[in-house]
């Protein structure tokens, strides 16, 4: 960290610059600053650089907040912050680089906390035969650390927002049906591109509008329930088709007199009417079983070895 700025000053400058941003990481920084009792004002000349970060003027200082690509593009040497960023990334934190007045100032570590049920949900989806892929704009070290915590083995990291939909299309070109779970504005094109889009209910309105299914609770276990219910529905449809056709396949030939020359059997109109009613009742009764659908209890999630905790406060 640049010795000209204390940790509290960097946090104050960063949170003030991010105050008008809607990004989840920005909200986390602002919440952290207010939790430390830091008074925040409004930034001037705020500008968001898609997939890179933001720049703004705070108390007369030009502040850059984002990744190395942003700082380098503005002529700031981000290499001096790389060791601190790597240490944070290895422990699953998202490193956010800060430059003030054209000089590297410090790194903030924001922990993308894993919900308690996430590992169990990932394990349940894998048990259902689904291949899981994490697509994120975070740097690779952070993404892989988070993926290890929940048991995901395939990670596509450092994907710019405008490339997420392209990655979904690439997976579709490989012959698979793709479901996408997202909650941010940048996830909307990918949610629309996917065969099935799952939006987190606590996410942005744009993501919800672009999705096919909204998980009101915001828990990944909702994806498991949706997959299980959809499969149960398809089984029910196939069963209903069988019940509808079996009556006709048996009854129509008998009614046409196929057995009359051999056995003298004909289908009475009364029996035919009863069979049609029984067919309809069988289909409706079988379909009504879905009203009692209860997701099967998930198997316990495997124990994932976590990385050792970070030392210090996560701010350097």
pLDDT tens string 177-233: 999 998 877 888 999 999 999 988 777 788 888 889 988 877 888 899 999 999 999
**176 band by pLDDT with thresholds 50, 70 and 90:** confident
Specify if 2 maps to a domain. Answer: no
**276 band by pLDDT with thresholds 50, 70 and 90:** confident
Domain CATH for 173? 3.40.50.1000
**314 band by pLDDT with thresholds 50, 70 and 90:** very low
Residue span of the structural domain in which 45 resides? 7-111
Asked if 104 and 123 sit in the same domain, the reply is: no
Burial class (CB in 10 A: 0-12, 13-18, 19+), 302: exposed
pLDDT at 150: 87
Asked if 242 and 219 sit in the same domain, the reply is: no
pLDDT at 230: 92
Specify if 310 maps to a domain. Answer: no
Asked if 183 and 268 sit in the same domain, the reply is: no
Specify if 72 maps to a domain. Answer: yes
Q: Is the pLDDT of residue 309 over 50?
A: no
Specify if 311 maps to a domain. Answer: no
Asked if 102 and 198 sit in the same domain, the reply is: no
Specify if 55 maps to a domain. Answer: yes
Task: Write down how long the chain is.
Answer: 316
Asked if 107 and 145 sit in the same domain, the reply is: no
Distance of CA 41 to the CA centre of its chain: 33
pLDDT tens string 258-275: 777 777 777 777 777 787
Dihedral (CA of 43, 47, 51, 53) sign: negative
- Residue with structure tokens 């392209």? 166
- State the DSSP string of 15-59: HHHHTT---HHHHHHHHHHHHTT------EEEEEETTTEEEEEET
Mean pLDDT of the chain: 83
pLDDT at 311: 31
Could you tell me what percent of the chain has a pLDDT over 70?
91
Domain CATH for 35? 3.40.1110.10
Asked if 64 and 142 sit in the same domain, the reply is: no
Specify if 71 maps to a domain. Answer: yes
What token pair was written down for 129? Answer: 């035969």
Q: How many CB atoms lie within 10 A of CB 294?
A: 9
Q: Is the pLDDT of residue 7 over 90?
A: no
Asked if 122 and 216 sit in the same domain, the reply is: yes
Question: DSSP state, 3?
Answer: T
Specify if 214 maps to a domain. Answer: yes
What is the rounded radius of gyration, in angstroms, for the C-alpha atoms of the chain? 28
Three-state DSSP state, 214: strand
Task: Give the count of domains, the chain.
Answer: 3
């Amino acid at each position: 960290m640049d010795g000209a700025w204390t940790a509290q000053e960097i946090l104050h400058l960063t949170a003030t610059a991010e105050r008008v941003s809607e990004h989840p990481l920005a909200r986390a920084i602002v919440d952290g600053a207010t939790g430390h009792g830091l008074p925040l004002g409004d930034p001037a000349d705020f500008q968001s650089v898609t997939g890179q970060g933001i720049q703004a003027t705070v108390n007369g200082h030009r502040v850059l907040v984002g990744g190395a690509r942003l700082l380098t593009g503005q002529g700031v040497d981000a290499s001096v912050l790389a060791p601190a960023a790597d240490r944070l990334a290895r422990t699953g934190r998202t490193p956010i680089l800060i430059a003030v007045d054209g000089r590297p100032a410090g790194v903030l570590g924001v922990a993308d906390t894993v919900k308690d049920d996430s590992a169990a949900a990932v394990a349940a989806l894998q048990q259902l035969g689904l291949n899981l892929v994490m697509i994120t704009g975070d740097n690779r070290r952070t993404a892989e650390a988070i993926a290890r915590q929940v048991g995901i083995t395939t990670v596509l990291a450092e994907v710019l927002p405008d490339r997420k939909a392209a990655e979904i299309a690439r997976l579709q070109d490989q012959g698979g049906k793709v479901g996408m779970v997202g909650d941010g504005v940048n996830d909307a094109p990918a949610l629309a591109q996917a065969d099935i889009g799952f939006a987190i209910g606590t996410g942005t309105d744009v993501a919800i509008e672009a999705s096919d299914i909204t998980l009101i609770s915001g828990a990944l276990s909702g994806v498991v329930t949706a997959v299980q219910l959809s499969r149960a529905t398809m089984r029910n449809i196939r069963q209903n088709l069988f019940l509808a056709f079996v009556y006709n396949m048996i009854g129509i030939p008998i009614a046409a007199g196929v057995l009359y020359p051999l056995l003298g059997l004909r289908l009475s109109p009364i029996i035919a009417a009863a069979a049609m009613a029984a067919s309809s009742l069988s289909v409706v009764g079988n379909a009504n079983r879905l009203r009692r659908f209860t997701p099967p209890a998930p198997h316990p999630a495997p124990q994932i070895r976590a990385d050792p905790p970070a030392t210090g406060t996560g701010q350097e």
